[in-house]
Structure 1
Amino acid sequence: MSVLAVIPARYGSTRFPGKPLAKIASQMMIERVWRLSAAAEGVDRVVVATDDERILEAVQSFGGEAVMTDEHCRNGTERALDALKRLDSDAEIVINVQGDAPLIPPWVIGGVAEALRGDPALPMATPAVPLPPETEARMRGDKAKGSASGTTVVFGKDMNALYFSKNVIPFRRQPETGAPVYQHIGLYGYRRDTLEQLVALEPTPLELTESLEQLRALENGIPIRVVLTDYRGRSAWSVDAPEDAERVAEIIEREGELV
């Protein structure tokens, strides 16, 4: 099964215009994400899907592959499908890698590819990590103050997702007992026909309520396999604003490069 990793990368950003081209420890963020994706086991091809010639040229300058997509794509899922069509790719599996995740470990991407390769009946997969108690406590405190940062997931015995939420789920009646909390990592693997189906569906009530696009799949009965992973002591951080880029550079200086 051919696996295509697509990295959606828009130039426009309210908080951080030109974000994909921002330098982090002397390397553009989009180059970092491209190299991490290319290093993932089980990924056959990596392409950046963009709406801006500056990003296209930047990717080509470091030897990466990029494709121009429709500027009217509303989200990364639509841009991934648009890229797939424009490339005339025969890939059976598409992995949507967030372009603002320059610390995503290659083995996390590879784990999603492996799950879809290993089960041809699986329509969709996404990774999650267990939260240490101290991180869970901090997240619950942040959520109580109104933070929308971070998403959690609960899943059944079959490892298929039951629900994703911007709240910390499950709720604990007793602080020290109960099921673990798992943080969702915003990376998705789709069977080709599942990606086409999702883009064709209308937004759903829970999706709009939580602002979580993956809920559209669950509300329409499309199973999402949760792939448990481990950051192996590495820090996770996404880039939403210029100060986040500085934070990532500090992490790289302290922990070293992933590839």
Structure 2
Amino acid sequence: MSAAIIIPARFASSRYPGKPLVELTGATGERASLIERSWRAATSVSGISEVAVATDDPRIERACIEFGARVIMTSPDCQNGTERCAEAMAHLTESADIVVNLQGDAPLTPAWFIEDLVAGLRDDPKADVATPVLRCDGAALNGFLDDRKAGRVGGTTAVFDANKHGLYFSKEVIPFTTKHYEDADETPVFHHVGVYAFRPSALDAYPNWPVGPLERLEGLEQLRFLENGNRILCVEVEARGRQFWELNNPEDVPRLEKMMAEMGIA
């Protein structure tokens, strides 16, 4: 089964306008934009037939062409990255059996996260979509809780059933627990990593469904699949010593740069 990666990117983010073009400094002092670093992450994944950036903004298009990425221009009416991927899918060089949405604000996504994700969807014929989840240690969980106390939108958490099919995703920390965890402790909370693998039929149907109340409240695009009866496979991945964080707010820039320095990512 062939797999392609599409990286949706838009300039007019409500929380962080211009985010894809924000430059991050790596461990060697090299500065590169968020979208370029996300593209580099995508091109490091094995078994992928094609990588393309999907955008509606000429500034992002120009930047991507400069560093060598293929760009698919999409409508400005796309409400989220999944809708943008659905539109871009029709313009891939070759049709793919699995289409991966690697969001353009997750440059620290390790290649094996996506490789495990694609393998998980291939092996579960009942799933329409697959997405990775990472068990939080105490340090990660406490970081989520600190963000919420400060009124910041941090990472997304996920809960799932015995078959690893998603029950819910939230920007709140779920499941609720009163226990205090030390930094190295294993916790029952799973960080949802913002990457998705779709069967083309599910991705093609997505833009035709109305935005449901849960998606509207949480601002999480994957909830539209659950609200319309689709199964999302939650694939548990291993960090293997890697740190992971998405760039959601300007305050996340130094956090990501610190992580890149500690991991030696140029």
Fold shared by both chains (TM-score > 0.5): yes
Deviation at 1:81, TM superposition (A): 0.9
Structure 2: runs of 5+ lacking an equivalent: 26-30
Q: Give the Cα separation in 2 of the matches to 1:50 and 1:62.
A: 15
Q: Give the stretch that moved more between structures: 35-44 or 13-22.
A: 13-22
Query: What is the CA distance between 1:127 and its match in structure 2?
Result: 0.5
Amino acid of the structure 1 residue aligned with 2:74: T
Of all paired residues, the percent bearing the same amino acid is 42
Within 2, Cα distance between the matches of 1:140 and 1:17?
25
SS in 1 for 2:188: coil
TM-score normalised according to structure 1 size: 0.89
Shift of 1:147: 4.0
Q: Find the residue that maps to 2:168 and give its secondary structure.
A: strand
Do 1:29 and 1:102's aligned partners in 2 also have CA atoms closer than 8 Å? yes
- Cα distance 1:238–1:156, how it changes in 2: closer, same or farther (>3 A)? same
CA distance in 1, matches of 2:16, 2:167: 34
Q: In the alignment, what sits opposite 2:28?
A: none
C-alpha RMSD of matched pairs (Å): 2.4
From the superposition, tell whether residues 201 and 179 of structure 1 become closer, same or farther in structure 2 (CA, over 3 Å): same
- Residue by residue, what CA displacement relative to the aligned partner does 1:80-132 show, whole Å, maximum 9, x if unpaired? 01111233641121111110111111111211111123334431100111111
User: What does residue 71 of structure 1 align with?
Assistant: 76
Q: C-alpha deviations, 1:109-161, integer Å up to 9, x for none?
A: 21111112333443110011111134324433543554432221111111111
Contact map agreement 2:155 2:246 (CA 8 A) in 1: no
Deviations 1:157-204 (A, max 9, x none): 11111111222222236667x981111111111100001122211111
Q: Trace 1:231-246 onto structure 2 (pairs within 5 A).
A: 231-246=239-254
Deviates more, 1:127-136 or 1:73-82: 127-136
1:52 to 45, 48, 57: 57
1:184 aligns with 2:189: no
How many angstroms apart in 2 are the aligned matches of 1:40 and 1:79? 21
Alignment match of 2:36 (pick from 11, 31, 37): 31
Deviations 1:36-78 (A, max 9, x none): 1111123221100011222222222222211111111111011
Separation of aligned partners in 2, 1:21 and 1:140: 29
Q: Within the alignment, does 1:127 sit opposite 2:135 as a pair? A: no
Q: 2:61 aligns to what SS in structure 1?
A: helix
1:251 corresponds to: 259
Consecutive unaligned residues in structure 1, runs of 5 or more: none
TM-score if structure 2 supplies the norm length? 0.87
Distance 2:15 2:213 in 1: 27
Q: What is the count of residue pairs matched by the alignment?
A: 258
